[in-house]
Amino acid sequence: MGEVLALLSALCFGLADFSGGLLSRRSRAALIGFLGQVSGLLATVVASLVVAAPHVDAPSLLWGALSGIGTGTGVLFLYRGMGRGRMSVVVPLSDVGGVALPVLAGVVLLSNRPSLPAWGGIVVALPALWLIAREGGDKGNGSANGALDGLLAGIGFALQNIALGQVDPSAGMWPIAISRLLSALTLFPAVLATPGRFRIRPRLLLPAALTGIAAAAAIVLYTLATRQQLLAIAVVLSSLYPAIPVVLGILLLKEKLRPSQVAGLVGAGAAIVLLAI
């Protein structure tokens, strides 16, 4: 059952990212992200009422709040990057950063000792990131394909993952609900700072809400998977989600990649799996 939950988590993550990227091409990234986090908050509150929570402690809620700041930051840059760049570039960059940085933070701050495969993942990740992010010829420094936004999103998601890793499982889903609340509050100033603020075409409201619910469902499914399956297996399976927006971006949006970027994507996929072991 744990494997199924982890794969469903990957599916929800991937579809949410692809949908959020498409919507950000039709409206403002900050607003799409904010609406998604609000709908995700409602979904996680429902999940929190259903899933048992024997001991909801203050530290877990505070860690959930900190993770929400990371989530809001990650979503803002992820959606902005996908809205103006290539999904097949932005999503892998954000995911590698979100996985690799917590490993490095554990080494530097907590004196953790990563496994040999994890160190291998870090070594593979560095050239993979460079291959994905670089542009050929004189096309600039990577802003055109959303590479910088992808890297910044990875920092936000790294904070999210580090904080959620400190949450006591006995707190149930309430830290995730708090995370979604703080994520929405983090995005709120960005919405106010953009022209048009809360103006959005009505037909985009439902897709934005469903995108947020899918992202929230992914976190809930992943959390449940880690409690029913070996953590390493759940992490590896759920970390496969970047394949979905990458493939959809290439097939449906006709995104084109140079051979070196394809090699970088393969390296990024390998790095994600190695880091998760």
Is residue 103 within 8 A of residue 123, CB to CB? The reply is: no
> Within a 10 A sphere around the Cβ of 48, how many other Cβ atoms?
19
Residue located via tokens 């530290």: 59
| In the chain, where the domains are located | 2-104+141-253
Backbone phi and psi for residue 54, each to the nearest 5 degrees, phi listed first: -60, -35
Asked if 32 and 241 count as a contact pair (C-beta separation under 8 A), the reply is no
Tens-binned pLDDT, residue by residue, of the chain (277 aa)? 777 888 898 899 999 999 999 999 999 999 999 999 999 999 999 999 999 899 999 999 999 999 999 999 999 999 999 998 888 889 888 988 887 888 788 778 767 777 788 788 878 887 887 887 765 544 544 555 788 999 999 999 999 988 988 899 999 999 999 999 999 999 999 999 988 888 999 999 999 999 999 999 998 998 888 777 555 566 666 777 888 888 888 889 888 878 888 888 888 888 877 876 6
What span, in angstroms and rounded, lies between the C-alpha atoms of 222 and 276?
13
Decide: 257 and 44 in contact? Cβ < 8 Å. no
Contact (Cβ atoms closer than 8 angstroms) between residue 146 and residue 253: no
